[in-house]
C-alpha cells in the first residue's frame, strides 16, 4: 500500500503558512487595538473642548440648568443667586471658535480653553477659560460674569425685557451666562441705556462702553452704561415738585410726614414758639411749600461705580403754620439738598424719598425720622 503521509518538505511549508496567518492576525489585532486606544485618547483629550462647547450652546438657548452643570464648584452660584441668560427667541450671537489655548499634555487635570463668540452686528469677545477635571468631568472656572446693581439707583434689574427685583443690601448675587444683553430696554426717566446689546463672555465685556477685562471677572456695574437724557433736569424738577406738593397738608394729630423730607415734634415746636404744655396747647399744623427748590441732576461713571446725584441750584423753603389757642405761629424752614434721595421704582419711574442721612428727632413721644432741626427755622413776625 502506498505511503500517504506528507513529506517533510510539505509539513515545513504548511508551518510557514500558518505562521504567516498568525502573524498577520496579530498585526491586525495590534492595529485595531492601537486605533481604539488612539480614539479613546483623542476622545479624552477633546473632553474639555466639548464641555466648553456644550456650556456655550446651553447659554445660547437660555438653558441655565444645563449650563450650570459645566460650572466649576468653586464658582458655582448658591441657591440664592440670580443667574440670567439672554433668553432670546433666536440666537443673538454665534460660537466662532473653541480651541486649546495651550496644547494639553497627557495626564493634565487643568487645561486652558479659548472661546470666541460674536454678534451679527460685529461685536466679538474672546476669553480663555480655566477648565478643571472635577469628579470625573471637565468643568469651567470663570464661566459666569458677576454683575452689580447700585441699589441707590434702582430697585429692579431689567435685562432683555425680563425684570427681576434687586435686594437693597446686595445680598442676592447676580451672574450672567455668556450672551448679548440689553439693559433697561424700556426707557427710564432721566437716564437711558444703550439700545444695542453688550456682549458678555467670562471677564470680557464688549459693547458701547467696554467693561473691565482680564483673567478674573470683576463684578460689572450695570449702571456704568447709563447716560443722562437731554431733558433730565426738566424731568427731575417736575418729579420733585409733584413729590413735595404731595407732602403739603394739614394735621390735627401730629406734624410728622413719614414719607416726606420734613417733619418735627410737638415739643420742638413748643420750645421754638416759647410754650410749655405742647400737647394741650398746640392744636393744628399745616405744612406748605413756599418756594420749590431748583434741582440739577449729575451722573458720573467711574470704573467700578456710578454716582447719581440731584443737587439744588437753589434751596427751597417750607412754611409751617401752628395754631396755639387763639394764636397762629408761622415758622419758615429751608429745604436743604441733603434731605432728598432719588431712586427708580419697580416700574422705572423716578421717585424721591427722605435721605438716609436726614437727622432724626427724639422726644418723649418717640422717634421722628427725617425731622427738621426746627431750631434753625425762623419764626415769622
Mean pLDDT (whole number) for 330-357: 75
Distances (CA, A) of 295 to 10, 245, 337: 115, 15, 9
227 pLDDT higher than 80? yes
- Please give the share of the chain, as a percent, with pLDDT higher than 90: 17
pLDDT at 296 over 50: yes
Quick one: pLDDT at residue 27? Answer: 59
C-alpha pair distances (Å), 122 with each of 72, 94, 180, 183: 30, 11, 12, 19
Inform me whether the pLDDT recorded for 10 exceeds 70: no
pLDDT (average), residues 43-68: 89
For residue 315, the model assigns a pLDDT of 82
pLDDT attached to residue 313: 76
Cell of residue 179, nine digits = 450672551
CB 316 within 8 A of CB 291: yes
Least confident of 45-54, 63-72, 143-152, 229-238: 143-152
pLDDT digits (tens, 9 = 90+) for 99-121: 998 888 777 888 999 999 998 88
C-alpha angle 370/376/381, rounded to 5°?
125
Q: Which of 300 and 197 is assigned the larger pLDDT? A: 197
Q: Are strands 137-141 and 156-159 parallel, antiparallel or unpaired?
A: unpaired
Confidence label for 305 from pLDDT (cuts 50, 70 and 90): low
pLDDT at 122: 86
Q: Please tell me the predicted confidence (pLDDT) of residue 184.
A: 87
CB atoms within 10 A of CB 299: 16
State how far the alpha carbon of 29 is from the alpha carbons of 24, 36, 43, 98, 342, in Å. Answer: 9, 10, 21, 35, 78
Going from the C-alpha of 102 to that of each of 99, 216, 288, the distances in angstroms are 9, 18, 72
Provide the pLDDT confidence category of residue 14 given band limits of 50, 70 and 90: low
Q: Tell me 71's DSSP state.
A: B
Q: Higher pLDDT residue, 86 or 115? A: 115
Residue tagged 433666536 (cell numbers) = 90
Residue 44 vs residue 60, higher pLDDT: 60
130-172 confidence digits (pLDDT tens): 999 998 899 998 899 988 887 566 778 888 877 777 765 566 7
pLDDT on residue 364: 37
Q: What is the pTM of this model?
A: 0.68
The owner of cell 449729575 is 298
Query: What is the structure's pLDDT at 147?
Result: 87
Nearest alpha carbon to residue 197 among 101, 99, 119:
119
Confidence of residue 13 (pLDDT cuts 50, 70, 90): low
C-alpha distance from residue 155 to each of 124, 166, 195, 349 (Å): 31, 5, 21, 11
- Tell me the CA end-to-end span of the chain in Å, nearest whole number: 158
Mean residue pLDDT of the chain comes to 76
For the stretch 349-369, pLDDT in tens is 778 877 764 444 444 333 445
Least confident of 180-189, 284-293, 358-367: 358-367
3-state secondary structure of 197: coil
| Pairing between β-strand 316-324 and β-strand 305-314 as defined by DSSP bridges | unpaired
SS3 243: helix
- CA 148, CA 227: separation in Å to the nearest integer? 17
Amino acid at each position: 500500500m502506498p505511503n500517504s503521509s506528507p513529506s517533510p518538505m510539505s509539513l515545513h511549508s504548511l508551518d510557514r503558512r500558518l505562521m504567516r496567518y498568525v502573524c498577520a492576525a496579530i498585526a491586525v489585532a495590534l492595529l485595531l487595538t492601537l486605533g481604539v486606544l488612539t480614539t479613546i485618547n483623542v476622545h479624552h483629550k477633546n473632553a474639555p473642548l466639548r464641555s466648553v462647547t456644550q456650556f456655550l450652546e446651553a447659554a445660547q438657548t437660555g438653558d441655565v440648568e444645563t449650563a450650570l452643570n459645566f460650572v466649576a464648584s468653586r464658582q458655582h452660584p448658591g441657591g440664592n443667586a440670580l443667574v440670567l441668560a439672554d433668553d432670546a427667541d433666536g440666537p443673538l450671537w454665534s460660537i466662532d471658535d473653541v480651541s486649546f489655548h495651550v496644547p494639553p499634555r497627557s495626564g493634565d487635570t487643568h487645561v486652558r480653553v479659548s472661546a470666541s463668540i460674536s454678534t451679527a452686528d460685529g461685536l466679538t469677545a474672546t476669553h480663555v477659560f480655566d477648565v478643571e477635571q472635577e469628579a470625573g468631568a471637565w468643568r469651567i472656572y470663570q464661566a459666569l460674569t458677576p454683575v452689580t446693581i447700585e441699589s441707590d439707583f434702582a430697585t429692579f434689574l431689567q435685562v432683555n425685557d425680563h425684570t427681576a427685583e434687586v435686594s437693597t443690601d446686595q445680598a442676592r448675587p447676580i451672574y450672567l451666562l455668556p450672551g448679548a444683553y440689553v439693559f433697561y430696554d424700556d426707557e427710564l426717566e432721566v437716564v437711558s441705556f444703550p439700545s444695542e446689546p453688550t456682549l458678555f463672555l467670562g471677564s470680557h465685556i464688549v459693547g458701547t462702553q467696554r467693561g473691565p477685562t482680564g483673567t478674573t471677572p470683576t463684578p460689572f456695574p450695570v449702571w456704568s452704561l447709563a447716560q443722562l437724557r437731554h431733558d433730565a433736569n426738566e424731568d427731575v424738577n417736575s418729579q420733585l415738585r409733584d413729590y413735595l406738593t404731595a407732602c403739603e397738608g394739614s394735621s390735627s394729630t401730629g406734624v410728622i410726614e413719614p414719607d416726606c423730607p420734613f417733619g418735627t415734634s410737638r415739643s420742638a415746636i413748643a420750645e421754638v414758639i416759647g410754650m410749655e404744655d405742647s400737647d394741650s396747647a398746640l392744636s393744628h399744623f399745616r405744612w406748605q411749600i413756599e418756594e420749590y427748590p431748583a434741582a440739577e441732576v449729575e451722573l458720573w461713571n467711574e470704573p467700578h461705580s456710578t454716582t447719581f446725584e440731584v443737587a439744588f441750584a437753589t434751596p427751597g423753603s417750607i412754611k409751617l403754620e401752628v395754631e396755639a389757642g387763639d394764636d397762629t405761629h408761622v415758622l419758615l424752614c429751608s429745604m436743604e439738598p441733603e434731605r432728598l434721595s432719588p431712586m427708580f421704582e419697580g416700574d422705572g419711574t423716578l421717585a424721591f424719598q427722605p435721605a438716609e442721612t436726614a437727622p432724626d428727632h427724639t422726644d418723649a413721644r418717640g422717634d421722628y425720622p427725617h425731622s427738621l432741626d426746627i431750631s434753625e427755622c425762623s419764626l415769622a413776625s
